């Protein structure tokens, strides 16, 4: 594998800093929402509304970048992301949180489209999967560190202090983002003329499943699930770890796996194709979620969730490479399918909590969805020797 370009390193680092505020909400809100006087369903709304917005803005953003090319879109999106983090820390009403989440959704549409196409513009199609893996890996490494430190800071210094300080720190993403766009070529004719119809419809469907279950239902309720299983804290190696810190560690492990696995998986995908791997990974996730739904021991629960994270990382890398290979419009279509799933996931997960059903229902529901996707994959893609 070759080292990624500086453009990829700069953009992934800038994106990690500004995205951290969003991810910290997933670690903190499940155990902190009662102090904000939010109902469980309000938490589900807040963790999903930014994704609902992206369903409607992804193609608009792609059009803006293509029709009116300018780095101002990127700079404005990074600055807005930093501002939104400060609002999270200072807001004391649900309405302010709601508006901030909408703003973040619009900003992230710009940032994700720019990030993927930065990778595309800075490498050849032959190594696209590998470079996409490096992009996700660098982003993941920074988020791994940030989620742990941010969650720990919340337990020590509090919600407001942590997010306001992070907002100030994230302003560094503005110059880094602008720097990432220097000395990279414009889109080639092959990519600029590509259309959404060239992307496999099944990739869009699988993207929806990953967004709905992996990034939506499981990630958004992880803190609630851990709180139910371990209480307010847990003893690890003789130290008492708060549930918010434990949730941050788990989410950090998710991104640590991304950091280690994405470049390797991307390089393998470039050489051997992706269809068989997708079918196998969907099947493994089905079995894993079924097993988790019947477990009561926290240690085994955590280990199986980590296995689920590994498979999900592999799936996201393979599907992102498939979409990126077809150009910006296909990226927008795939991103919209993921966002639609991610926007529905927290609502489903937190509705289960609102109805006071066991948290095992979250895993059983996810298992059923993955089972359907795995059946389709095994029937239509599995072991045909397709690329």
Q: What percentage of the chain reaches a pLDDT higher than 70?
A: 85
Tokens standing for 343? Answer: 């926007």
Structure confidence at residue 385 (pLDDT): 42
User: Strand 233-236 and strand 239-242: pairing?
Assistant: antiparallel
Mean pLDDT of 277-296: 87
pLDDT tens for 152-191 read: 888 888 888 988 999 999 999 999 988 888 877 665 544 5
Q: What percentage of the chain reaches a pLDDT higher than 90?
A: 19
> Is 0.95 surpassed by the pTM of this model?
no
Residue 246, CB half-sphere, CA atoms under 13 Å: how many? 25
Q: What are residue 239's DSSP bridge partners?
A: 236
Give Cβ neighbours of residue 124 (< 8 Å, ≥ 6 apart): none
**Widest distance between CA atoms in the chain:** 59
Structure confidence at residue 24 (pLDDT): 86
Which overall architecture, per CATH, does domain 6-380 show?
Up-down Bundle (1.20)
Mean pLDDT of 185-200: 53
Contact at 8 Å (CB) between 191 and 325?
no
Residue 126 pLDDT level (bands cut at 50, 70, 90): low
3-state helix, strand, coil in the chain (%, to 5): 80, 0, 15
pLDDT tens for 336-378 read: 898 888 878 888 888 887 887 887 888 899 999 999 999 988 8
Structure confidence at residue 386 (pLDDT): 44
Structure confidence at residue 283 (pLDDT): 92
Structure confidence at residue 108 (pLDDT): 92
Tell whether the model's pLDDT for residue 382 goes beyond 50.
no
Radius of gyration of the chain (CA): 20
Tell whether the model's pLDDT for residue 81 goes beyond 70.
yes
Least confident of 158-167, 228-237, 292-301, 343-352: 228-237
Structure confidence at residue 197 (pLDDT): 47
Tell whether the model's pLDDT for residue 204 goes beyond 70.
yes
Structure confidence at residue 76 (pLDDT): 92
Structure confidence at residue 18 (pLDDT): 92
Mean pLDDT of 20-42: 83
If one compares 320 and 103, the residue with the highest pLDDT of the two is: 103
Structure confidence at residue 114 (pLDDT): 87
pLDDT tens for 244-285 read: 777 777 777 776 777 777 777 767 766 666 677 888 889 999
Closest CA to 218 of 40, 378, 49, 47: 47
The neighbour count for residue 3, using CB atoms within 10 Å, is 8
Contact at 8 Å (CB) between 167 and 86?
yes
Burial 42-51 (b: 16+ CB within 10 A, else e): bbbbbbbbbb
The neighbour count for residue 183, using CB atoms within 10 Å, is 10
Where do the structural domains in the chain lie, given as residue ranges?
6-380
């Amino acid at each position: 594998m070759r080292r990624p370009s500086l453009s990829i390193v700069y953009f992934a680092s800038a994106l990690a800093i500004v995205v951290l505020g969003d991810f910290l909400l997933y670690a903190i809100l499940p155990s902190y929402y009662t102090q904000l006087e939010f109902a469980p369903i309000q938490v589900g709304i807040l963790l999903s509304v930014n994704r609902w917005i992206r369903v409607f803005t992804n193609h608009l953003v792609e059009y803006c970048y293509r029709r009116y090319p300018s780095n101002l879109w990127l700079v404005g999106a990074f600055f807005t992301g930093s501002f939104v983090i400060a609002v999270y820390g200072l807001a004391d009403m649900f309405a302010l949180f709601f508006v901030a989440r909408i703003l973040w959704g619009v900003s992230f549409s710009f940032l994700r489209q720019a990030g993927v196409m930065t990778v595309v513009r800075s490498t050849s199609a032959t190594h696209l999967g590998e470079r996409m893996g490096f992009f996700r890996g660098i982003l993941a490494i920074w988020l791994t560190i940030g989620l742990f430190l941010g969650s720990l800071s919340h337990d020590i210094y509090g919600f407001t202090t942590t997010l306001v300080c992070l907002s100030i720190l994230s302003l560094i993403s503005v110059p880094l983002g602008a720097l990432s766009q220097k000395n990279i070529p414009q889109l080639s004719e092959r990519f600029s003329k590509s259309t959404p119809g060239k992307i496999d419809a099944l990739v869009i469907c699988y993207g929806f499943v990953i967004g709905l279950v992996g990034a939506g239902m499981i990630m958004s309720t992880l803190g609630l699930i851990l709180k139910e299983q371990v209480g307010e804290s847990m003893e690890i190696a003789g130290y008492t770890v708060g549930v918010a810190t434990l949730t941050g560690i788990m989410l950090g492990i998710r991104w640590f796996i991304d950091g280690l696995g994405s470049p390797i998986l991307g390089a393998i995908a470039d050489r051997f194709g992706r269809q068989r791997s997708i079918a196998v990974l969907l099947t493994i996730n089905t079995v894993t979620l079924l097993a988790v739904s019947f477990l009561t021991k926290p240690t085994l629960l955590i280990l199986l969730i980590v296995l689920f994270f590994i498979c999900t990382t592999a799936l996201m890398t393979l599907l992102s490479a498939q979409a990126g290979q077809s150009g910006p419009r296909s990226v927008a279509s795939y991103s919209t399918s993921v966002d639609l799933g991610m926007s529905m996931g927290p609502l489903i997960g937190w509705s289960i909590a609102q109805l006071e059903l066991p948290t095992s229902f979250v895993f059983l529901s996810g298992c059923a969805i993955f089972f359907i996707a795995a059946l389709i994959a095994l029937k239509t893609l599995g072991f045909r020797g397709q690329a």
